[in-house]
Amino acid sequence: MERVEIVVDDVRISLLKGRDEDIVYIHCSGGDAELWKYQLEYVGGYAIDLPNHGKSDCIKINSIEDYAYFVAEVIKKLFDKAVVAGHSLGGAIAQKVYLNYKEIVSGLILIGTGARLRVLPELLEGLEKNPSETAKMLAEMSFASRGFVDSFARIFEERAKVLRNDLILCDKFDLLEQYRNGSIKIDVPTLIIVGEKDVLTPVKYSQFFHKHIPNSKLVVISDAGHMVIIEKPEEVSREIKEFIEKIKIKN
């Protein structure tokens, strides 16, 4: 695996790269490209460090659209078109990349995410006032099993500020009504993945996508929570690989 750097408007964006595949992965709130290591190894493609995360530069980001702009510019520099895969916050960004820059998206993968992503007020307040305890609570809510909780509690605590900023953007993200009234029409193949035990973006958010996105497949992964890409990396990667192979055949 190697690091690739792309400069967009003087901002250095760092990506982790597996073998050549036309797919870009976008991480969750407070996350980074490393979270996609298994998918990069098994499927290939590029995982981005969003601005203010991982090894990318820090700048002022005011909205999900701002993140989508940087992702779209990176895609334009790397490919004609790519599959855009996003987890949680990354899934909100992926939807905006599709809606604002349709011409560069060949398929969408929406993992543990939603058309609306309201956030518990206790999380937003707690990350500011009591980061240690709140990071632990969020880590507990993020996984179905205990194994990863302590290490992620530490990561979330270290990154409390950027994590909170991301969650504030998620809280404002709301395309629910536009899907319902038909003003959003997604017409690329879409793979929807969610952990059966996800309490942060429950299965019904993914069922909503499946109902409103015509060419979509819904995969509910058992014994997994919100961090399904980490808890069940093999199953997630298998689904992604199958999905991108089908897209290649069609194109």
Positions that interact with ligand COA (CB under 6 A): 88, 114-120, 123, 170, 176, 200-201, 204-205, 208
- CA atoms within 13 A of residue 90's CA, in its CB half-sphere: 28
The gap from C-alpha 237 to its chain's centroid, in whole angstroms, comes to 14
Distance CA 88, CA 205 (A): 11
Distance CA 139, CA 149 (A): 5
User: What's the closest the beta carbon of residue 154 comes to ligand COA, in angstroms?
Assistant: 20
Cβ closer to ligand COA: 15 or 138? 138
Strands 11-17 and 46-48 come out as: antiparallel
Cβ closer to ligand COA: 118 or 161? 118
Cβ closer to ligand COA: 79 or 173? 173
Whose structure tokens read 């609306």? 116
User: What's the closest the beta carbon of residue 222 comes to ligand COA, in angstroms?
Assistant: 20
Position closest to ligand COA via CB: 114
Q: How far apart are the first and last CA of the chain?
A: 27
- Are the beta carbons of 135 and 153 closer than 8 angstroms? yes
Cβ closer to ligand COA: 114 or 195? 114
User: What's the closest the beta carbon of residue 184 comes to ligand COA, in angstroms?
Assistant: 13
Cβ closer to ligand COA: 7 or 168? 168
In the sheet that holds 23-26, the strands lie side by side as 2-8, 11-17, 46-48, 23-26, 82-87, 105-111, 190-195, 216-221
Closest CA to 6 of 101, 249, 250, 14: 14
Cβ closer to ligand COA: 106 or 142? 142
Non-local (6+) Cβ contacts of 240 within 8 A are 23, 39, 43, 85, 109, 191
Distance CA 69, CA 160 (A): 24
User: What's the closest the beta carbon of residue 110 comes to ligand COA, in angstroms?
Assistant: 10
User: What's the closest the beta carbon of residue 33 comes to ligand COA, in angstroms?
Assistant: 19
Cβ closer to ligand COA: 21 or 32? 32
